[in-house]
Structure 1
């Protein structure tokens, strides 16, 4: 009888401790807060005076309900998938969504705006929200939390949320040509990396303590760049663009490591370049059939308004493609990357 009581007591202790651990894990990261570009934009561009919108079919054809929400994908994007991975929600709202209620802010938002970059000129050219203006909206977000839920709740969310910064592709692929008289490819990539570090410092000053920064992707391998600059017959990856991305990464990674040692909290460099490049070079290894064209339209130049419901060539099985349009991956490709990376990095922020 005493032995039975002892076993029951031990089991109870294990259950209580397990529940405490689970609850502790859930409250460790109360919200996901995202800054950046179209990779993470869940609809912030919808009401902006810009051509860079995607709140129309066939965008969103694989999103729950088949709705075009303003995500530059066939379905959900990394903002959503990472929020789900953290156990917060299946979708992350866009901060500029006019229908958001105070309660909707508690599990996080994305301030990301398709077409933006670290270079302020990028957002100006595209008529979108710069990452620097996204910081201003972030301050507004914290003020709203304070007004609706009090100083303590706001402080808790501010200090314990996971922050992601995802940018640089538009700078490298588009804005460099306008900056080429002032910068070499190397010096421009370094300028962008230094800007990213400055952004993280500013975010830390505002109270963020768990910050992840994505590397540049192999932007020279997206279908649009391959079509425009990869050769008429070969449509190969554009090496100068990929080399700029690598230079950005080689400058950013050690700078963030130094920042992590200097500042309190956790600052992570998240390498997505190698994962996406390997997927593009070996699609079948990951269960994809097409890596050099997008699903939408003919997949070579179709993006934003050029990817529309009048285009009869959009594929039916988008999960067979790495790219949805000529610039952005499909939900399935995003899922592969998120699953691969977050298992590696998330343990560092809990």
Structure 2
């Protein structure tokens, strides 16, 4: 046997051995991919930015995987998911956490895409506004219970991180002023000493506010001493686009220069009077009084002989009131001591479920679409509750 022939045989043998020892591809494995982009003009994406992938099945977190971005700002994982598994990716940039959406795996999918957008930061609050404020007022004996649900947005292209306190080194982003006689302050989720910082006339939030119509949500409640004709004043440190007030108190109504009656809502808590207000400028007070009264059912109705006419502003107002009623019902039901409050990290999904319920009851979505979306939202809420 010549040397050349022997060399060729050796090469073939080594090739076969290499093939034999190569790991076989995993059956059912699909790519989990994503692209990290910077939503701030002229912003950059660090190439060594770590990406963490979380996977969930039912109520359990099933995996945490880490990689770093490639030169084009993308990332890639290879996994073999099962139907119903949930995926989300997160990155931390300039001490702010950014996440992708939640994606539920379906059998027909050939890949899972989890895009993540990061932003540069700013200490300027000029673009911050409260998109919606929901006030839930109930009277029980000599006590007025007030629940406030604030949906806060950032109309800019930079994440607002607040200003650092020179003494504590902690940043705060949104200040909330409470009535002087407010007691029994309670938060839905992390409270004072955790997400929120106690201040002399109220408290402040430490959560960064990302660009978007609704970036953070704050849900809290407090109590006031009831007396006939009690006057309530709410002032917001940033502009408030709209305010919805629900009053559940038999024989009482609200009176105020800047509030508009919006009819009576039937909720699982019973009938409630609804009111709207806004927009309000930063620092502009919203003042209203609890006074004896009864629902004015005809305030929202046109005369019987009048032809039907569409009022877009009124329809939007009614939609906000319906959503507020759904959120209020969920809030007051969940805040029962037996069950505890809805955790803050699941609040946005609870709100989406409530809004979906409202759309289905109004006939705006089909039953098939409703059931599918509701199932997906519930799965995402469960995964969100387990997310670290």
Tell me which protein shows more strand as a share of its residues: 2
| TM-score between the two structures when normalised by the length of structure 2 | 0.26
> Greater relative contact order: 1 or 2 (C-alpha under 8 angstroms, separation 6 or more)?
1
Tell me which protein shows more helix as a share of its residues: 1
Q: Which has the larger radius of gyration?
A: 2
